[in-house]
Structure formats: structure tokens, C-alpha cells
Amino acid sequence: MSVSQLSSRTSGPSKRSQLLGISAIRIIFEKAQSFPDVIRLELGEPDFDTPQNIKDAAIRAISTGKTKYTSGAGILDLRKAISRKLEKDNHVSFEPTKEVLVTAGATAGINLALLASLEVGDEILVPNPGWATYVYAVRLVGANPVLYDLSSQSSYSFDRDGVEKLVTPKTKAILINTPGNPTGAVLSQKNLQQVADFAIDHDLKVFCDEVYEKFLYQEPGSSDLRHISIASLPEMKDRVVTINSFSKTYAMTGWRVGYVAANSSVTDAMVKINTASSSCISSVSQLAALEALEGPQDSVTKMIEAYQKRRDVTIKVLNGIHGFNCPLPQGAFYAFPKIQGTGYNSFDLSMKILEQAHVATVPGSAFGSNGEGHIRIAYANSLSNIESALERISKIM
Ligand SMILES: Cc1ncc(COP(=O)(O)O)c(C=O)c1O
């Protein structure tokens, strides 16, 4: 029997799946395939290869038969290593057997965290602009995303007065992302404390996406820029769900491995859902991730140094292009220039740049209404590709 022979009651996709739109990133991605010489600055994906020691660990795992199901929460040695990492880097203690879960990247981590924490009809505060997947993930669990403004005028920091007006009896949580996609903004300790006070005052959960925590760029002469985990602030640990990943830090996007750390009742619920939906994460990827955490970290340092150089070139050149104005992002690997001076809206400008300069970027509108007036340029590409791409853009503007 073919799909066309089924009645409309049985043949169509679920209403839930129809809540997920096609993202502008996808449209650009598909169209970019038709230009053989395209330079891709649209994807949030490191161009670096996964470090060799990590690949070797995966090969060893396969050769020695570590190819079976693992615990639904993840291999215990990996959870212990994650817990040590959280203690050392993030100054917060999580019990590896009860408070840590290995996930299929941060994407699955976010979905599991929401599924385990929210009821249908609950409201959750989501950043605007923010990573588009947040809104989709919230809708998928039947909750309602309520967008809060991040403004370029205040360096995309959390503005308590603005957010306060959005709280209703249904508000259950707030989601934050630092360093942020698409803005590259890093929330300061003072600003995170404001988020914490707000969450405590309204008894909200906090979901914190920290996948870019290592992507911080120190400026000569300025005070030390540090990533602060909101879970480490006083009285916060139990209300925070921390989401992180190996994808960006270790250039491991295709391995699909990340983790979530949360109080034991949320973790227990996430483990149950993870086990029911996928049993466990690939054993080979988990053992590669263990090596990523426990092995030498010099490749991470080298990659971050390269990103900093790329960032500096990207921002300098962008600010010389007609109609572009780009503040210096402190973190992640994205430039988010204002483009109002070009006279185009963000989708039309991204399309023009793709069609005329053969450079793929993302329209800011893909990240929420406050993203309009910007485009996102990922500098996760070689310096020579970045330079050629920007030269091409500059020629058509
Ligand atoms: C803010 C943010 N969180 C999560 C992810 C997804 O990470 P993962 O590959 O671990 O699912 C991305 C990917 O672009 C991202 O930008």
C-alpha cells in the first residue's frame, strides 16, 4: 500500500511535527549546493578535523569490541570524567551516578531537559535573538516559548526589567546561552547573578546552554574574560539544568555526543526518556568523548587561537564594507553585523550575497525578530576562505 492510498486521517504527519518550520539556514544551505565555488560561512560547524588522539580512542573502542549497548545514562567512566570537568572548569559538583547524563549532542540534551521538566502549556522564556532550535524544541514538547529581548544596545545582556513583564503564572523556566549564538555575547558574572535572582524570585528553572564555553577571546590589556556557569552561583545548582557538548570544543559535530547535568530528579526523568527513545548514545562516540576530556587539551588551545585570529580579521574587514557595522563579539565563532546601512532586509541580503558573491551566510531573522537587521557569519572556516569570502562580499556591496 502506498501513502496515497491511506486516508487523510492516517497518512498525514502529526500536528506536533508541523509546528517545526523549515529554517532559513536550511533554505540557504540547500541553495548553496548549486554554486560549486561557494564559500560556506552559514554553518555553526568547526572546519577543523577531530583531534587524532580522539579518533584513535574510537578506533581502539571498535577494535576491542566496545560496541555494545551502554547504560542509558552513559558509560560511567565518561560520566565521572564529565563530573570532574564540571568541578574543575565550572566549579560545581555533580554526582556522576545521579546527576549526569550523556546525550546525543546538546540538541538532544535540550530536548530531554525540556521533556523532563515542562508540562504541556507551560511557558518558558527564550532569548531573541537566539538559536532557532530552542523555539522548535519547546514547541515539540507542547510548551510555549515566550521570547525575551536581547538588545545590541546593551551588548545582548539580560535585562531584568524587560523580562519581568513577560512572567505569568504559567512561566516555569528561562533559557540562557552563554557565549551566545548568534551574537557571540558572553554574560558577565554580574549579569548571570541578575538571571539567578530573577529565577529565584519567580521560582523558575534555568536551562543553560554552554556549548561555546571554551570559545572566549581575551583582549590585550582588558580584564580576564571567563566563562561562568550559572549553576555555580549560590543557591542555584538545583534549579539549573546545564547543557554542554563535545561538538564545538573538540570539533566532533558528527559524533553526536554531549551531556546534561542537573539535580537527581530531573536527571532520573531524562535518563528514563533517553532510554525509551534511543537506549543509549553510540558506545564508540562515548569512548572518544572520554579521551577528549581526559587526553591532552593542546589541540583545543590551538583551535581557539585560530578562531581568535579569524574573528579579528572578520570584524575588521566587515566594518570596512559599505552598510555593515559589526561590534566585536567576545565569544562563540559568529560575527553578527548590523546591515541596516545596506538598505536590504536580512533574508534579501543573505540571498544577494549567496547569488552574487557565492558566499553562504544566515539571515538574522532566522534567530527571531530581533535578529532582523543583521546577518550571521560563522568564522569557523580557514582564514584564506574567510578573506576571499569577505572580499567577494565587499565587491558586490
Ligand atoms: C547554541 C547552540 N547549542 C547547541 C548546538 C548544537 O550542538 P550539538 O551538536 O551538540 O547538538 C548548537 C549548534 O549550532 C548551538 O549553536
How many other CB atoms are found less than 10 A from the CB of residue 30? 10
Same domain, 132 and 264: yes
Q: In a mutational test of the pocket of ligand 1, which residue from 43, 209, 211 has the highest number of ligand atoms less than 8 Å from its CB?
A: 211
pTM comes to 0.96
Cα-to-centroid distance, 43 and ligand 1 (Å): 11
108 belongs to a structural domain: yes
For the segment 24-37, the average pLDDT, to the nearest whole number, is 89
Count of domains for the chain = 2
Q: What pLDDT, on the 0 to 100 scale, is given for residue 240?
A: 98
Instruction: Give residue 106 CA to ligand 1 midpoint distance, Å.
Output: 6
Of the three residues 230, 265, 294, the one that is the final residue of a domain is 294
The answer to whether residues 314 and 365 belong to one domain is: yes
39 & 59 share domain = no
Residue 206 has pLDDT above 80, yes or no: yes
| Residues 179-191: tens digit of each pLDDT | 999 999 999 999 9
Residue 285 belongs to a domain:
yes
Region 380-396: mean pLDDT is 97
Across 76-91, average pLDDT:
98
182, 154, 242: which is closest to 206 by C-alpha? 242
pLDDT band at 27 (very low <50, low <70, confident <90, very high): confident
What number does the ligand 1 atom closest to the CA of 108 have? 11
The answer to whether the beta carbons of residues 363 and 350 sit under 8 Å apart is yes
Q: What is the pLDDT of residue 6?
A: 65
Among candidates 282, 327, 58, which has minimal Cα distance to 180? 327
pLDDT tens per residue across span 236-275: 999 999 999 999 999 999 999 999 999 999 999 999 999 9
Q: For 216, which DSSP code?
A: B
Terminal Cα distance for the chain, rounded: 54
Question: Does the structure show a pLDDT above 60 at 226?
Answer: yes
Mark whether 357 and 390 lie in a shared domain.
Answer: yes
Closest ligand 1 atom number to CA of residue 131? 1
376 and 237 in one domain? Answer: no
Whether the predicted pLDDT of 17 surpasses 90: no
pLDDT band at 18 (very low <50, low <70, confident <90, very high): confident
Q: Are 137 and 111 in contact (CB under 8 A)?
A: yes
The C-alpha cell at 353 is 550575497
Q: How far is the CA of 53 from the centre of ligand 1 (A)?
A: 23
Distance in Å, CA 144 to ligand 1 centroid: 21
Same domain, 234 and 312: no
Q: How far apart are CA 328 and CA 334, in angstroms?
A: 10
Percent of the chain whose predicted confidence (pLDDT) is above 90: 89
Q: Give the DSSP letter string of 315-369.
A: HHHHTTSTT-B-----BTTEE--B-GGGT--HHHHHHHHHHHH-EE-EEGGGG-G
Lowest-confidence region among 139-143, 202-206, 218-222? 218-222
Cα–Cα distance measured from residue 326 to residue 344, given in angstroms and rounded to the nearest whole number: 16
Contact 205, 117 (CB under 8 A): yes
Domain boundary among 240, 264, 294: 294
Cα→Cα distances 157→150, 177, 184, 397, Å: 6, 11, 11, 31
Quote the domain boundaries for residue 113.
53-294
In a domain, 121, yes or no: yes
For the beta carbon of residue 342, count every other beta carbon within 10 angstroms.
21
Q: Determine, yes or no, domain membership for 116.
A: yes
* CATH number, position 329: 3.90.1150.10
Same domain, 172 and 78: yes
Pocket test for ligand 1, best of 101, 183, 247 (most atoms within 8 A of CB): 247
Are 265 and 308 in the same domain? no
* Spatial distance between the Cα atoms of 145 and 377, rounded to a whole number of angstroms: 26
| 383/239 same-domain check | no
Closest CA to 293 of 122, 90, 11: 90
Ligand 1, pocket residues at CB < 6 Å: 44, 105-107, 131, 177, 181, 209, 211, 245, 247, 253, 258
pLDDT tens string 111-123:
999 999 999 999 9
Nearest to 289 by CA among 163, 104, 150: 104
Contact 73, 102 (CB under 8 A): yes
Residue 48: what residue type?
F
Q: Is 99 domain-assigned?
A: yes
Ligand 1 atom with the smallest distance to the CA of 212 is 1
Alpha helices in 152-230 (DSSP H): 160-164, 189-201
- The CATH number of whichever domain residue 161 belongs to comes to 3.40.640.10
Same domain, 280 and 310: no
> What mean pLDDT value characterizes the chain?
95
Grid cell, residue 336, equals 553578527
pLDDT tens for residues 323-377? 999 999 999 999 999 999 999 999 999 999 999 999 999 999 999 999 999 999 9
If asked whether residues 273 and 316 sit together in one domain, one would say no
Same domain assignment for residues 324 and 285: no
> Hey, is 254 helix, strand or coil?
helix
- Cα distance between residue 393 and residue 397, in whole Å: 6
Average pLDDT over residues 383-395: 97
Among residues 294, 329, 351, the one where a domain terminates is 294
Q: Is the pLDDT of residue 3 over 60?
A: no
DSSP string, 129-150: S--THHHHHHHHTT-EEEEEE-
What pLDDT is recorded for position 242?
98
User: Does the pLDDT at position 4 exceed 80?
Assistant: no
Structural domain includes residue 9: no
Is there a domain that residue 8 lies in? no
Q: How far is the CA of 23 from the centre of ligand 1 (A)?
A: 15
What per-residue string of b and e applies to 308-325 under the rule 16 or more CB within 10 Å gives b? Answer: bebbeebbebbeebeebe
pLDDT band at 5 (very low <50, low <70, confident <90, very high): low
- State the SS3 of 1-38: CCHHHCCHHHHCCCCCHHHCCCCHHHHHHHHHCCCCCC
Structural domain includes residue 6 = no
Contact (CB, 8 A) for 107 and 257: no
Q: Which atom of ligand 1 is nearest to the CA of 110?
A: 4
Average pLDDT over residues 80-96: 98
Return d(Cα 84, Cα 75) in angstroms, integer.
Answer: 14
Atom of ligand 1 nearest to the CA of 130: 1
